[in-house]
Copies of this chain bind each other. A is one copy, B any other.
Amino acid sequence: MGTLVPGIPGFPDRAVITEVGPRDGLQSEPVFVSTPEKIALIQSLLDAGLRHFEVTSFVSPRAVPQMRDAAEVLSAFRDRKDAHLTALVPNMRGAEAAIEAGVDAMVLFASASESHNLKNVNRSRAQSLRGFADIAKLAEGTGVKLQGAIATAFGCPFEGEVDVQAVVDLACAYVDLGMDYITLGDTTGMATPALVIQRVQALRHLRGEAALALHFHNTRGVGLACVYAGLSQGVTHYESSIGGLGGCPFVPRATGNVATEDLVYLMEESGVSTGASLDLLIEAAKLAERVVGRELPGQVMKAGPRLAAASMDSVRTANG
């Protein structure tokens, strides 16, 4: 697919997708997913052509029981030299475990808004950054890289609007710590295309120093419109979750992460190569649905690729 698709002016030719379902997705799911099921899910995503994964998080097993098998899940894929494996790390203890487990990179996170950082990790942003400096020292010489995630980058559930300067300041602090990959996280689904364009343009001077990645939730239905805005600005890294695994922490009926297969569908149909097979991603999304035992919000997994319906012989009685 892709060869007959007219490209969209300004869009990049290819994009990198980091699958965050095994971590960000499963962490929000109420059902405990067994270690073999997690491994099977990641394997199905590898088979579908994905190569970048946020595999797990090294957090307290008491606080997040779903992630208690972090080292075991990681070890199943440590020999896949073609795969880039990251894990979320909240503190020094997590960093030690992540390095020991053999991650390629640790994802450190702070919030652009002070209130969210305080509520989320019980520290000020300045305290978070001091902790990251200690982790950076620990990582020195290990070959393990650091990535920085900026939570509430498009709005805060406590403060409302977040000043773009707070996002820029945190991104600059991340670069100073040696991070070469920075994700803007849409923690509670407050991103809009206009905010995406504004933030990407404000961070343009960091290009060359760090790759910029975008991570959207579809909480208000505009997740893929935000991706479209990011692509129009030349952003080439995106994070998503197979089937749309995960949810919005604040809104019971709302969906969470943008679904990986819907993202790939949008990109490939826009002339942006992802290296992934849509058919195999749909299979992986169905596996994810079985694993968590609920209907997931991904759309393409239900409708199939564009031309999948071309042999159906039922019709409706009027136009639509």
Determine if A126 is an interface residue (Cβ-Cβ < 8 Å): no
Determine if A138 is an interface residue (Cβ-Cβ < 8 Å): no
Complex interface: stretch among A2-10, A38-46, A73-81, A95-103:
A2-10
Shortest CB-to-CB span from A320 to chain B, Å, is 5
> A192 with B310: in contact, given A249-B320, A316-B120, A320-B185 (CB under 8 Å)?
no
Determine if A269 is an interface residue (Cβ-Cβ < 8 Å): yes
What chain B residues lie within 8 Å of A111 (beta carbons)? Answer: 319
Instruction: Give the complex CA separation of A273 and B302 in angstroms.
Output: 33
Shortest CB-to-CB span from A104 to chain B, Å, is 19
Q: Mark A249-288, 1 if CB is under 8 A from B, else 0.
A: 1110111110100100110011100000000000000000
What chain B residues lie within 8 Å of A188 (beta carbons)? Answer: 309, 320
Determine if A225 is an interface residue (Cβ-Cβ < 8 Å): yes
Instruction: Give the complex CA separation of A149 and B8 in angstroms.
Output: 26
Considering only residues 203-222 of chain A, those with a C-beta below 8 Å from chain B are: 215, 217-222
Question: In the complex the two chains form, is A159's CB within 8 Å of B310's CB?
Answer: yes
Shortest CB-to-CB span from A168 to chain B, Å, is 16
Contact of A266 among B225, B249, B319 (CB under 8 A): B225
Copies of this chain: 2
Question: In the complex the two chains form, is B316's CB within 8 Å of A221's CB?
Answer: no
Question: In the complex the two chains form, is A320's CB within 8 Å of B192's CB?
Answer: no
Instruction: Give the complex CA separation of A318 and B70 in angstroms.
Output: 15
Determine if A158 is an interface residue (Cβ-Cβ < 8 Å): yes
> A156 with B302: in contact, given A28-B316, A120-B317, A320-B187 (CB under 8 Å)?
no
- Given A157-B309, A193-B270, A222-B224, 8 additional A-B pairs, CB 8 A: A6-B198, A57-B318, A64-B318, A157-B312, A160-B310, A193-B269, A249-B314, A251-B302
Interface residues of A (CB under 8 A from B): 5-8, 24, 27-28, 57, 59, 63-64, 88, 90, 109, 111, 116, 119-120, 149, 151, 155-161, 185, 187-190, 192-195, 197-198, 215, 217-222, 224-225, 227-229, 232, 246, 248-251, 253-257, 259, 262, 265-266, 269-271, 295, 298-300, 302-304, 306-307, 309-320
**Among all A-B residue pairs, the 3 with the closest Cβ atoms:** A221-B299, A151-B319, A249-B316
